[in-house]
Structure 1
Amino acid sequence: MRLRTPWRGGMLAVLMAAVAVVAVGPVPGTAWASAAPRAALIPAVDREIHFTADGVTAYGTLHIPAHRAGHKLAAALLLPGSGPTDRNGDEPPGLTPHTLALTAGILGGDGVMSLRFDKYGTGRTGLGGRDSAPDMAAYTRQAVTAYNSLRAQPEADPHALLVVGHSEGGLQALLVDRAVQQKPAGLALIAPQSMRLLDLVRLQLADTLNRAVAAGHLTARQAWWNNRGVARAIADFRARRPVDTSALMPSLAALLKGMFGPVNADFVRSDDALFPPTVARGVAPGTRTLVTCGTEDTNVPCRTMPALLSGLDAARTTGPGLRILPGLDHLLHPAGTPVNDSVIAPAAQQALHDFVRPWQHTAQD
C-alpha cells in the first residue's frame, strides 16, 4: 500500500501445434516396436485478452509459459496495489517498478500461466465512463470477471486456480475468494493490506512524522499536533462530519483532501469498511496461502500482520503461511533500491516458488 490516494483523479489467438508421432519400423528378427508419441512443445507467449464487467471492457495480458500441447497449467490471477496501478504494477510515467510483470515471469518459470489486467482508471481500460473512483465492490466484480475469464482459457487447469495480490491487491484477493463459486486452490498475499484502510493510513503518517522528528525536520510537538489532527480528520470523515485539515502540514492536508474529496470518497469509505482479518476468516478451508512482509516495508509493516494471520489460521488454511523478507521494502526491493528498478529480490522470488511448488512443472514434463 503506497502512501497515496487509492486513486489519483481516480488473451485472442490460440496457438495450436500438431502432435508429433514417431513410428518405428520393423527390425529384422524382432517384433514391431513403437515409441510412445510425445506432444509437441509450445513456446511461451503473451497474448492480449479482454473481458467485460458492469458494461466496461477491461484489457489485460495472458502469459502462457512453454508447455506440452494438451497439458493443463495452473493459472494465477495477478492483482495490483492501490492507486492507478496498471497490469504491470506501474503508475506511469513516474512509477514503473514492473512488479506484476516481473511476478508473471517468475510464475511462468515454474510453469504457471497468469493473467494481469488494467483495472479501472488505468492503462487501456480507463475510467469506463466514470468521473470518480468506483467503490471496492465494483473493483471486486471486475476482478471476479477476470478470474472467470482466466478459468475459461483452454490452457488453464480449472482445479489449479490461484490469486496473487500485491498490497491492496492482497485484500482484493480475499474478496475474490469470497465471491467466486469455484474457490482458488491458493492465495498469495504479497505485502497485503492488513488493516482498515484509514487505520493503515494513520499508522503510515505517524511513522513518517516520527522519522521526521528523528531526522530533525520536525519537533516532537509538531509531530504530536499533526498526528492529533490526522486522527480527528479520519474520525470526522468516518462520521460523515465536515473535515477540517487547515491546521495540518500542507503535505498532510493535501493527501487527506484528495482521499476525502468527491472523486475518491466513495472508494475510501468502501475500502475502509473492510477489516481484512475478518475477510480472511471466510477463506475456504485447505486453501494454500502465502503472506509476505518485508522488514523494511514502511507502507505495510510486519507488525500489522498478526491479526490477518490469525484470521487465515481460523479459516484452517494451509501452505507456506508467513514469510518474513529481511531487508525488503514494499516493492520487494532491497531497501534503498531506486523505486523504478525492475527487480524482485531473491527472497521474494523464493517465497513465490515455494507457494506454487504443488503446481510446478517444466516444459519437458
Structure 2
Amino acid sequence: MHSLVVAAMVAATVMPATGVPATDREITFQSDGLTAYGTLHVPAHKRGDRLAAALLLPGSGPTDRNGNQLPAIEPNTLSLLADALGQDGIMTFRFDKYGSGPTHTLPPAGADYSVFLRQAEAAYTTLLKQPETNPSRMLIVGHSEGGMNAMLVGISVRPRPAGLALLAPQDQRILDMIDLQLAEQLDAALPADQAQAQKDLIAAWISNYRADKPVSTAGMLPTIAQLFQTLLAQGDFLRSDDAIYPPDVARRVPAGTRVLVTCGTADTNVPCDTTPPLLTALRGEKLVTLTGIDHFFHPAGSPVNGQPLAPALLTALHHWSRPWTSH
C-alpha cells in the first residue's frame, strides 16, 4: 500500500494531469538537396508550453546523431547531452552528420567545409519550426569541432541563439591542431632528436601548403605520411576548413549571448592552454576547467565507450542553461 502511494506521488510530480510526456521524434530535413535524419527529444512539459530548444553539434569526422563513429567509437556524447538538457526541460535536436548514421549519406562531390555548416543551419531551422519550440530561447551546444561550428552557425542564422555551449571547442586552425596532437604523440614515442626531425617535416608541410607551394611527405614516418597524403586529397575541403581561425569567429558572436566554454585538464585533443585567444575574442568569457577530464568528458584513463558524462560537465551545463530551464 505504502509503495503504491509513493509511486502515485512520483508520477504526479513528473507528469501533471495536463502534462505531455517526454518523447523522441524522428525528423528528416533537406540540405543541398540531400535528406538528413535526426532525433528531436522533447522533455515532459505542460501542454501548451513553448520550450527552450538546443541544436547539438558533433565533433569532427563522420559522427552520428548520438556522437558516435560506429563501430569502434561509441561514447554517446550527444545522446547523453540530450538526456542532461532534457532533465532541465530543454528540448534538443541532433542529426546524422554527412557520412554517418544508417544511410552514410555523403556530401555533394567537391564540396568544401561550408557544406557541413549549411547542414547544421538547416537543422537549426528545422528545430526552430517545431511546435514546442520557443523562438526566443534557441540554443546551440557543440562538442570539439562542433563548438567552432556552433559559433559559425550562431552568427549566420536568424533568430540568433540566446546561448552557446562550447564544450572542449576547437580553438585553433585545423592544421595547427593536427600539428599539436602529432607533436605530443611523437614526443611520447621517439627520442627527442627523432621526434624533432618529424616535427620539422610536419611544420614544413603545413607552411608550404598554406603558401600554395609544393608539399612533400618524404622522410615522414609512414603513418604520418599517409595522414598528410589523405589530407592533401581532400582538396577544397581542407583548404576551406584550415582557413577558419576560431578566435576570429568568436569576435563576431553578439554581445549578450550567454556562452559556456569548457576544457578538460586531461584533454590532449584540445588542451586548456590553447584556449586564451578564444576566450579573449569572446570578450573575456570565463573558462570552466574540468579537472582530470578528457576530451569525451570522462576521467583520465577511462574507456571512451560506455561511460557517463563527468558530473563537473553536467554541473557547468546546468548553470549555463539556468535562464531557460523550466524547472
Shared fold (TM-score, shorter chain, > 0.5): yes
Task: State the partner residue of 2:53.
Answer: 75
Contact 2:52 2:324 in 1 (8 A): yes
Q: Does 1:185 pair with 2:162?
A: yes
Rounded Cα–Cα distance in structure 2 between residues aligned with 1:285 and 1:136: 26
User: After superposition, what is the alpha-carbon deviation per residue over 1:82-129, rounded to whole angstroms, capped at 9, x for unaligned?
Assistant: 011111100000100000010000000000000000111111453346
Rounded Cα–Cα distance in structure 1 between residues aligned with 2:181 and 2:24: 37
Deviation at 1:242, TM superposition (A): 3.0
User: After superposition, what is the alpha-carbon deviation per residue over 1:141-192, rounded to whole angstroms, capped at 9, x for unaligned?
Assistant: 1111110110110001000000000000011001101111211000000000
Task: State the partner residue of 2:239.
Answer: 269
Given candidates 104, 107, 113, the residue that maps to 1:136 is 113
Rounded Cα–Cα distance in structure 2 between residues aligned with 1:46 and 1:197: 34
Task: State the partner residue of 2:324.
Answer: 359
Task: Give the root-mean-square deviation of aligned CA atoms.
Answer: 1.5
Which amino acid in the other structure matches residue 41 of structure 2?
Answer: H
Q: Does 1:348 pair with 2:320?
A: no
Q: Does 1:239 pair with 2:211?
A: yes
- Based on CA coordinates, which of the two structures has the bigger radius of gyration? 1
User: After superposition, what is the alpha-carbon deviation per residue over 1:193-234, rounded to whole angstroms, capped at 9, x for unaligned?
Assistant: 00111111111111221222xxxxx11111010000101111
- Aligned pairs for 1:147-186 (under 5 A) are 147-186=124-163
Given candidates 250, 267, 270, the residue that maps to 1:297 is 267
Contact 1:106 1:349 in 2 (8 A): yes
Which amino acid in the other structure matches residue 251 of structure 1?
Answer: T
Contact 1:281 1:312 in 2 (8 A): yes
Rounded Cα–Cα distance in structure 2 between residues aligned with 1:300 and 1:129: 27
Which amino acid in the other structure matches residue 210 of structure 1?
Answer: D
Given candidates 41, 65, 79, the residue that maps to 1:101 is 79
Contact 2:99 2:107 in 1 (8 A): no
Identity %: 53
In the comparison of the two structures, how many residue pairs are matched?
A: 312
The structure 1 segments of at least 4 consecutive aligned residues displaced by more than 6 Å after TM superposition are none
Rounded Cα–Cα distance in structure 1 between residues aligned with 2:231 and 2:127: 32
**Structure 1: 5+ residue stretches without partners:** 1-37, 213-217
Structure with the bigger percentage of helix:
2
Mark the CA change 1:51 to 1:125 in structure 2 (over 3 Å): closer, same or farther: farther
Rounded Cα–Cα distance in structure 2 between residues aligned with 1:323 and 1:125: 37
Rounded Cα–Cα distance in structure 2 between residues aligned with 1:240 and 1:130: 25
Rounded Cα–Cα distance in structure 2 between residues aligned with 1:82 and 1:97: 14
User: After superposition, what is the alpha-carbon deviation per residue over 1:276-316, rounded to whole angstroms, capped at 9, x for unaligned?
Assistant: 001001011100000000000000000110000011117xx
SS in 2 for 1:323: strand
SS in 1 for 2:39: strand
Rounded Cα–Cα distance in structure 2 between residues aligned with 1:129 and 1:206: 31
Q: Does 1:194 pair with 2:171?
A: yes
Contact 1:39 1:70 in 2 (8 A): no
Task: State the partner residue of 1:254.
Answer: 226
Contact 1:177 1:183 in 2 (8 A): yes
SS in 2 for 1:179: coil
Contact 1:59 1:124 in 2 (8 A): no
Deviation at 1:79, TM superposition (A): 0.2
Contact 1:39 1:69 in 2 (8 A): no
Contact 1:65 1:109 in 2 (8 A): yes
Contact 1:89 1:98 in 2 (8 A): yes
Rounded Cα–Cα distance in structure 1 between residues aligned with 2:304 and 2:22: 28
Rounded Cα–Cα distance in structure 2 between residues aligned with 1:342 and 1:62: 23
Which amino acid in the other structure matches residue 340 of structure 1?
Answer: N
Rounded Cα–Cα distance in structure 2 between residues aligned with 1:52 and 1:113: 21
Contact 1:119 1:125 in 2 (8 A): no
Task: State the partner residue of 1:306.
Answer: 276
Which amino acid in the other structure matches residue 290 of structure 1?
Answer: L
Segment drifting more, 243-252 vs 93-102: 243-252
Deviation at 1:39, TM superposition (A): 6.6
SS in 2 for 1:298: coil
Q: Does 1:90 pair with 2:60?
A: no
Rounded Cα–Cα distance in structure 1 between residues aligned with 2:146 and 2:112: 14
Which amino acid in the other structure matches residue 191 of structure 1?
Answer: A
Task: State the partner residue of 2:187.
Answer: 210
Deviation at 1:238, TM superposition (A): 1.8
- Aligned pairs for 1:4-19 (under 5 A) are none
Rounded Cα–Cα distance in structure 2 between residues aligned with 1:289 and 1:324: 14
Q: TM-score normalised to the size of structure 1?
A: 0.83
User: After superposition, what is the alpha-carbon deviation per residue over 1:232-260, rounded to whole angstroms, capped at 9, x for unaligned?
Assistant: 11122222333211201112112211212
